[in-house]
Each structure stands twice: as C-alpha cells, then as structure tokens.
Amino acid sequence: MVGRRTLVSGDVIAERYHLQDLVQERLGATTWRAHDSVLSRNVGLELLPSDDARADRFLDAARGSTIVSDPRFLRVLDLIQDDHGHHMIVREWARAFPLDAVLAQAPLPSWRAAAIVIEVAEALMNAHDHGQYHRRLTPHQILLKESGAVRVVGLGVATALAPVGSSEQPDTAQLERLDVQGLGKLLYACLVSRWPGGHVDGLRAAPTEHGRVLRPRQVRAGVDREIDAICDRILGSPPVQHRRPITTVAEVAHELRGVLARLDPHDTAGGATTSPDLVRYDPVVEPLGPPPGLEPPRPRPKAWTPAPPTTLERRKAQARSLTKGERGMVLLGSVGVLAILLVIAFLVGRQGPVPEAGSEPSASATGNVGVLPLERVIDFDPQGDGSESADAVGLAIDGDPATSWTTQTYRGRADVGGLKDGVGLVLDLGSTRQVDSVRLNLVGAPTSLQIFTTATGVDEAPRALSDLSPVASVQDGGTDVTVSLPQATITRYVVVWLTSLPQVGDGEFRGEVAEVRVDGRS
C-alpha cells in the first residue's frame, strides 16, 4: 500500500477528480467537494484511510446502497479503493444546507417540519423495500436545497462509520424500529431545535421530566397539537392518553401527510406535496435575456459640459414660468379663492360648532358614569396555539368571586414560562363606549398586567397584539386591582393582558381572574 499523506486542495484522485474544498471531517472520514474533469461537473468525495478497521464495510455499505434508486438519496457514482492511501465514495453533488445548520438558528414551523419528515420517511420506505436501512438519522444527514427539496445522505455508510462494536446483527423489525425512532427524533428536533436523548449535531438535549422527554408543545409554544401527538406516538414509551404507537415508516408518512394538507400554507388544494425538484438531480437556474459580453465596454471620455443647474435654480425657473401669461391669471385667482375660504373658516370657528338636527350628543359629553355591560368575553392567546381555557372565560364575569378563569400552568418562570409575552381576555362592550377604568379581582399575587384597547370604530375582535394599543399597566399587583385609563378613552374592545403570573407550586405559575368589571359612560 502506498504511504498515506494528508490530502490537500488541488490533489487529483483516480486521474480525474480534482479536490477543491474540504467540506467536513467527521468520525475519522473527510468529505470534499471535487471537480470531475471527465464529465465536467462537481461531485462529493467521502474518504476514509485504507488502514482503518472500518474501511472494507465503508465501501460495502456504499455498494449495497446503490440498489435504492430514490432521487432523495444522493447517488453513488463511483467507488475507489486504496488511492493515495484512502478508500473513497464518489457521490453526486448537491448545493444544499445541512438541517442542523438551519435548526441552530431557529426551529421550523409545524408545517415545514412535517413536510421535511414526510420526504425522509417516504425515501426510507423505498430503501426498506430493497432491504436497506439508514439506522443513524440525525439532522446532519438531511440536506435542504434552496428550491425546498430534501436530500438524505449516509444510507448504510453512517452505520459503517460508527465505532466497531458488537458483531450481532439486529433483525428486520429492529432495523425498521431504529429508522422510525430516528424519524420521530428528527421531527422533534425540527419543532424545538432540541434532540431527544442527548447532544447531537450541535443541538442541545431535549428537556426531561421524571425520566420522560417533554413533548414539543411543553418545550415551545405554537407547535401544532396533531403533530405533537404524532411525535409522542413515535417516541413516547408509552404514548400519553393511551394513543396507539407508530411503529413503521409508512405510518409516519401517512399520519403526517394527513395533517400537512391542513397546515401547509402553500397547499390550498389540500393535495399531496413533494420536493419541487425530485425529477432533476441538480436543477440549473438559467438566466433570462442574452448572455453578457465577454468584456464590458470601456467608458469613453466625455466632452466638457457646463455644470447642471442646482435644485434651487430649477425651482426658481419653475416659479417664474407659472407667473407668465394665462398661468399667472389662474394662479392669482386660486390665491384669492383660498383667502376667502380662510376668512369664512375663521368666522365660523369663532361662533362655535352648530349641532345638526337630529344628531346625538357624544359619549364624552353626556351619559352617567357606571358599570358598562359586557356582551361577551373571549380568551386571547395570539402567540400560542390560539386558545387559553376558552371554555371557562364566562367565570370571569359571572358575578361569583368563588369561580375564576385560569390560564394554563407554566413551568420555570413567572413570565408565562418565557414562551410568549403574555395571555389574557378580550372584553367586548357591544359598541363603542367611553371607558374610565378596569377593576379586577385576581387569585394569587403578585400579578403583572397591561390593558390594551382597539381603535375607535373597530367592530371586529382583535386577533394579534398589532391590532391593539397599550393604555395602562400594573406591575406586581395584588388580588384587588383597579386600573385607571387615560381620559376620553373610547373603544369597543378592552384587553386584559397578563404578563407575569403568581406562583402556585414548586416551579409552577398560573394566572386566575375571578371577576372583571369595566367602568365608563353608557
């Protein structure tokens, strides 16, 4: 065997592959972007030293994976044995980002997480039909192209690169279970940027409680309920609420596909979605218009020209042109009419406004101050899943302080668990009113809150904080809180927004509103 040396950019493998960029070093293997001088295209090279104990099964795994023709797996183009002291796998090259780099920035929306895992699950279904199993799915093994397409790498090879261990081979059911568990963990990571069971690919370990991994909705607000349940049916041991566990990759794809039609904002017809470029391995973006010249034209020297007029000089010239001929007469008449209108407006203003016949006086001028009737109360959770104890909102206005509307229980932090800015109630006055104050009977202390209102004339209940304007706030209030609003606050909707909740247990926080009353002019 030829003595092995460190490979560098510019080395030529098998007299055709020119090494260009070192992409990564992982588990003793290196991945390079190379240029195939024979076919004039980029390829990916995975290299493992020939004297490594895993070298033979490294090539065998790649050779076995070629039986799977699903385009979501990067194809094996060539196998090279013992060149420059390395065994090598030549794959097609995809311009894409690894999923772990995307999740390091932020979790994905529920619909996008489902779409990615569906692609991976359907690719694994085709692999399983040919007796091939991945066994080591992690975010680093998933590539996302700019077109939205999904690619899977490491089929068979990821297992071959694992440290040499037991010689026992798991049966087919165990192999499929490993891939199903990998899909569940992949879905979990897409939803919350955490990995169940430990630190993997730069992602922190998923939080646990009493030895059980918390469900995605317990870690991050806004995760879809059905996808959260699917994730628990894969990873839960056993799943909560006695749900039926998911044990095959086909079930994973089927269950997520049923939810995606409801979630995917781009799928208005409710049909199935697939990667947009599965029919092409590496789509080429063709520019519009004629090709550019080989050399841009050189600028020619300009003859001397006088300096252009300044902005002030142009404005003066335009003003002079307006005072000449018929334009001057029109301008003079316009100035005269404007002067007459100003005099009339001044005289009317001195006399004061004259009420129109049949008009009603404004709410701020008449009416008695008292308790304003509430037409309805709505729970308000725009930064969560849109529902916060909706079936109990009537208890906040039933006149019985012994009953109350309560928020969900949040863990770890008083500021709604750090999951969102707050949660609260929308008070509908039925019509536009002048509001003077809001009185609250709360359970537990301290509670911090804000009062928001909608603009005058708005007749639709708010759905987001951007629809509201803050008018008052209370920090660390007690159980009996009266909030005075600015003078002449006129609105139909008043929102009580809880931002910090009282503690109800060890590390648990929950807000409760026993009664709420709005005072103003009827």
Region 96-163+171-263: CATH code:
1.10.510.10
Span 401-444, pLDDT tens digits: 889 999 999 888 889 888 889 999 999 999 999 999 999 999 98
What's residue 5's pLDDT?
66
The domain covering 369-521 belongs, at the CATH homologous superfamily level, to: Galactose-binding domain-like (2.60.120.260)
pLDDT higher than threshold 70 for residue 231: yes
- Say what percent of the chain tops pLDDT 70: 83
What's residue 323's pLDDT?
65
Q: Residue ranges of the domains in the chain?
A: 12-92, 96-163+171-263, 369-521
Q: Which two tokens stand for residue 137?
A: 């799915």
Closest CA relative to residue 86, chosen from 43, 36, 51: 51
If 0-12 CB within 10 Å is exposed, 13-18 middle and 19+ buried, where does residue 113 land?
buried
Span 335-372, pLDDT tens digits: 888 888 888 887 776 655 544 444 444 444 445 778 99
What's residue 155's pLDDT?
81
Span 343-352, pLDDT tens digits: 888 777 665 5
Q: Are 12-92 and 369-521 equal in CATH topology?
A: no
Question: Which residues, 6+ apart, have CB-to-CB distance to 179 below 8 Å?
Answer: 124, 128, 133, 134, 135, 137, 249
What's residue 103's pLDDT?
92
Question: What is the distance between the alpha carbons of residues 62 and 65, in angstroms, rounded to a whole number?
Answer: 5
What's residue 281's pLDDT?
38
If 0-12 CB within 10 Å is exposed, 13-18 middle and 19+ buried, where does residue 146 land?
exposed
Give the CATH class of 12-92: alpha beta
pTM: 0.50
Please name every residue paired with 178 in a beta bridge, in sequence order, or none if there are none.
none
Question: What is the distance between the alpha carbons of residues 46 and 154, in angstroms, rounded to a whole number?
Answer: 10
pLDDT higher than threshold 70 for residue 277: no
What's residue 2's pLDDT?
47
Task: Give me the phi and psi of 198, to 5 degrees please.
Answer: 150, 180
What's residue 278's pLDDT?
42
What's residue 324's pLDDT?
66
Q: Mean pLDDT: which of 170-179, 292-301, 503-512 is highest?
A: 503-512
pLDDT higher than threshold 90 for residue 452: yes
For residue 345, the SS3 value is helix
Dihedral (Cα; 97, 98, 102, 103), 10-degree rounding: 170
Distances (CA, A) of 26 to 32, 47, 63, 155: 12, 10, 20, 15
Span 32-90, pLDDT tens digits: 889 998 888 899 888 888 888 888 888 888 888 888 888 888 888 888 888 888 888 89
Span 181-218, pLDDT tens digits: 999 999 999 999 999 988 888 899 999 888 888 999 99
pLDDT band (50, 70, 90) for residue 171: confident
Mean pLDDT, rounded, for 140-160: 83
Span 278-332, pLDDT tens digits: 433 344 344 444 444 434 445 545 445 566 777 787 777 777 766 666 667 777 7
Mean pLDDT, rounded, for 151-162: 77
In the predicted model, what is the mean pLDDT of the chain?
Answer: 81
- Say what percent of the chain tops pLDDT 90: 31
